[in-house]
Structures are given as structure tokens and as C-alpha cells.
Chains A and B, each alone.
Chain A
Amino acid sequence: MRARSKKILVTLTALCVVFGLVTGLAVPELHAGPCEDAYKRCVATIGYSPVSMYCGVGWVFCKKYIE
């Protein structure tokens, strides 16, 4: 039971943490395209500027981890 709880917790939080967004920006959604959702939120929040490199790098790390 403890193991299952840990697995669920890890899975839920992983989607958010992998993307590396500032806490509060992203709530993980367990359906197809978690990286897409997180990327949209990131770009909408930070904007498309040199700073949005953060979003691009987040996209790469998310895809690496999720796929």
C-alpha cells in the first residue's frame, strides 16, 4: 500500500517537477500531452523572449523523461 501511494505521488508530481516550472505554475494533468500542457503554461506565463529558453529546455527535459 505504501509502495502504491509512493508510486502515485511520484507520478503525479513528476510531470510538474520534470518540467521545472516554478511551483504553482503547473498542475499536472494525467492525460495525453503533459509536456504540451506544461509548455503552453510556461510560454503563457514567461512569454516568448530569451527568457523562454526556460520553456524550451523544460520541453526537452520533459520529453526526455516522459517518452
Chain B
Amino acid sequence: MAVGLASSLFSFLSAETGEKLPLSLSLEEVLSIGNLEDNALYQWIGVAVDAEGFIYLTDGMDYSVKKFSPQGGLIQKTGCRGQGPGEFLAPRLLGCSDKQVFVTDQNTLVLQVFDRSLRYISRIPVRTPVVDLKVFPDGRFALADVSIGRPGKIVLFNKTGHVLKEYSYSRKTGPLMEDWVSFELDEHDNLYLAYSFQDKIERFDGRGRKLWSKDLLGMKNVKRQKVGPWEVPQSLVFKDIESDNQGRLYILGGGYSEKPSRTVYVLNPNGEHLSTFFLPESSHCIYIDRWNFLYSRACEGITLKKYRIFTAGIEH
């Protein structure tokens, strides 16, 4: 396992955007998992880190979930192609509670639950394929319940899959996929949305009331294209949203950002833009663990990078 502990320091300047922002961020690479010479990862998709720093990844190429030590060594692997217990057709997202690992499959309407040694425990039925997932330490989990022809919802479940709360963030049905989102839900049940196909970031409180809504790019409309018989959005506006342990939001921009799939916008919980920085390589997602380490993709999915986030400046 190649572990890149070299302290290559990348700097990310909001000055590049010409905008004076109150916070400056930089990243230092502290760990690299997977490379062209080993068989650790082929195409990782979902990432999560547990309370002890173990790293879990889904790998779409070998239909597996993999567990790595905090130092980056592969210590467990489970899964193969199939629809039985512990098997996958298209493993995607995952999340860790204190005791369990929850894994989504794009092509089956279940969440599979494993213990932290990746032994299969159970499956929980879901209504639609999952585009985003959040798992809390106590086992509660939330899903983006997006669909076609129905306004989108974020649904919060208890650890056995019973609905605790629904956030109906969209009141109308628009063009195909218009209200699909990535989301972040904090411990106080505040919901943050980054729209996949709209220039819109929103916050809702625990009662489902919208607190603010803002754009980051000044876009009015997302280009759509006809693919087969349907008009679909041409490119993603925002790919992912995460928060750190100080409540800051990190939003990964898509194809409309200055550096597509590398631009990360940082906002405070009130929606004020604090900083913008760039990942060294394009990524499909970002993940921030409880110690504020940031994880993203490199080498087209063969590599996972872990970074320490440095901040400087005064946050207003």
C-alpha cells in the first residue's frame, strides 16, 4: 500500500476569483490510498470514516466494500456481484454509525447494513434509488428521496428504517431532475441542500422552514439536452456538500465552476461565502471526517487522497 505522507502543500487562493473573502484555506496531503501498481482500489465511489479513523470505501469495479486502517492498509473487503445478502449490483454511497456501516446500491432498492468488520447484518428497503446518504453516530440515517414527477424530499429514519421526519424542500414539480440534490444534515437537524442542476444552496431548520437560499455562480438556467426521448440537464452545478466540525459548509462545484469538479466553495452556516479553493484533481465527491480531514478522488478513482485543512484569516 503506497501511503503518501509527503507534505506536498497545495495552496488555494480565493484571490484567484478576484473576490476578497475572509478566509484562506490550504490543504496538506497526509494519506494516499491506491495507485496504478497495486490492487487496493479500482474505482472508488463512496467514502466514510468511523470514530476510530478507519476508512470505508465502495468500489464499483469489484462490487465491494473495503475497510482501510487509518494508515491506509486494506484490512477487510466484502461483497461480490449479485442481489443476495452482502452482494451488490452497483455499490455507491456509504455511511458509518458507531456500530454499523450502511451501503446503498444504485440498482436495488435496499440499504445493506454491515457491522464495522464488514459482516452482513440486514437490509432496509428504500423507496427510490439513493442519490445521497447521511448516517449519524447513533444509527439514524437520512436519504435524498428524489423521484420523477414528484417534489423532492429528504427523509430521516431511525436505525431500523422507520421514518422519523421528512423535509419537503420542493413544493412543485419542475423539469426532469431539476430538484435533485446533495445534502448535509447537522446534529441539530438543520438541513443544507446543494442542488445538482440549479445554482442554489439552501438551509432549512429542524422544522423544515427555509432559512435562506442563495446562488454562488449567478446562473439563471442550466442547459438541458435531449438524450433519447428526454431532456436532461447537461451538466452538474454542484456535486456534493459537506460540513466540518465548526459548521462550515464545503460545496464541490461541477461543470459550471471555474475549475470543474475541483472548485470548493466554503460558506458559513448563515450562507455567507468565506472562501473558495481548488482540489488538486477533479473529484466526484468530497468527504470531511469528524477531525476535519478532507477526502477526495485522484487518478480517476484508483486513488483516495486525504488532506488536512489549514485555515487562516478572520471569519466574520
Q: Look across to chain A and name the residue whose beta carbon is closest to the beta carbon of B59.
A: A17
B227: chain A residues at CB < 8 Å are 36, 39-40, 43
The reply to whether the CB of B92 lies closer than 8 angstroms to some CB of chain A is yes
Q: How far is the CB of A20 from chain B (nearest CB, A)?
A: 3
Query: How many angstroms between the C-alpha atoms of A14 and B81 in the bound complex?
Result: 15
Given the known interface contacts A7-B36, A10-B42, A20-B89, the answer about A59 and B177 at a Cβ–Cβ threshold of 8 Å is yes
* A-B pairs under 8 A by CB, number: 107
The reply to whether the CB of B98 lies closer than 8 angstroms to some CB of chain A is no
Q: How far is the CB of B281 from chain A (nearest CB, A)?
A: 13
Contact of B131 among A36, A40, A57 (CB under 8 A): A57
The reply to whether the CB of B282 lies closer than 8 angstroms to some CB of chain A is yes
Interface string of A20-49 (1 = CB under 8 A from B): 101100000000000010011001100010
Q: Look across to chain A and name the residue whose beta carbon is closest to the beta carbon of B37.
A: A3
User: A54 near B107 (CB under 8 angstroms)?
Assistant: yes
User: A53 near B128 (CB under 8 angstroms)?
Assistant: yes
The reply to whether the CB of B306 lies closer than 8 angstroms to some CB of chain A is no
The reply to whether the CB of B279 lies closer than 8 angstroms to some CB of chain A is no
User: B230 near A14 (CB under 8 angstroms)?
Assistant: no
User: A48 near B129 (CB under 8 angstroms)?
Assistant: no
B302: chain A residues at CB < 8 Å are 6-7, 10
User: B229 near A48 (CB under 8 angstroms)?
Assistant: yes
User: B107 near A10 (CB under 8 angstroms)?
Assistant: no
User: A53 near B43 (CB under 8 angstroms)?
Assistant: no
Given the known interface contacts A39-B227, A67-B255, the answer about A57 and B129 at a Cβ–Cβ threshold of 8 Å is yes
Number of residues on chain B facing chain A (CB within 8 A) = 43
Q: How far is the CB of A24 from chain B (nearest CB, A)?
A: 12
Query: How many angstroms between the C-alpha atoms of A48 and B106 in the bound complex?
Result: 17
Given the known interface contacts A10-B301, A20-B89, A39-B232, the answer about A67 and B129 at a Cβ–Cβ threshold of 8 Å is no
Number of residues on chain A facing chain B (CB within 8 A) = 34
Q: Look across to chain A and name the residue whose beta carbon is closest to the beta carbon of B39.
A: A6
A40: chain B residues at CB < 8 Å are 227-228
User: B228 near A39 (CB under 8 angstroms)?
Assistant: yes
Contact of A11 among B37, B180, B300 (CB under 8 A): B300
Query: How many angstroms between the C-alpha atoms of A40 and B227 in the bound complex?
Result: 6
Q: How far is the CB of A37 from chain B (nearest CB, A)?
A: 9
Interface string of B116-152 (1 = CB under 8 A from A): 0000000000001111000000000000001110000
Q: Look across to chain B and name the residue whose beta carbon is closest to the beta carbon of A58.
A: B106
Contact of B196 among A14, A52, A60 (CB under 8 A): A60
User: B236 near A67 (CB under 8 angstroms)?
Assistant: yes
The reply to whether the CB of B261 lies closer than 8 angstroms to some CB of chain A is yes
B292: chain A residues at CB < 8 Å are none
User: B300 near A52 (CB under 8 angstroms)?
Assistant: no
The reply to whether the CB of B260 lies closer than 8 angstroms to some CB of chain A is yes
Query: How many angstroms between the C-alpha atoms of A31 and B147 in the bound complex?
Result: 30
Would you list which residues of chain B between 42 and 68 have a CB under 8 Å from chain A?
Answer: 42-43, 45, 60-61
Query: How many angstroms between the C-alpha atoms of A2 and B239 in the bound complex?
Result: 32
The reply to whether the CB of B285 lies closer than 8 angstroms to some CB of chain A is yes
Interface string of B205-225 (1 = CB under 8 A from A): 000000000000000000001
Query: How many angstroms between the C-alpha atoms of A38 and B168 in the bound complex?
Result: 31
B300: chain A residues at CB < 8 Å are 7, 10-11, 14
The reply to whether the CB of B165 lies closer than 8 angstroms to some CB of chain A is no
Can you list 8 A-B pairs, Cβ within 8 angstroms, ordered by A?
A: A17-B43, A23-B81, A39-B228, A43-B229, A52-B148, A56-B148, A57-B129, A59-B177
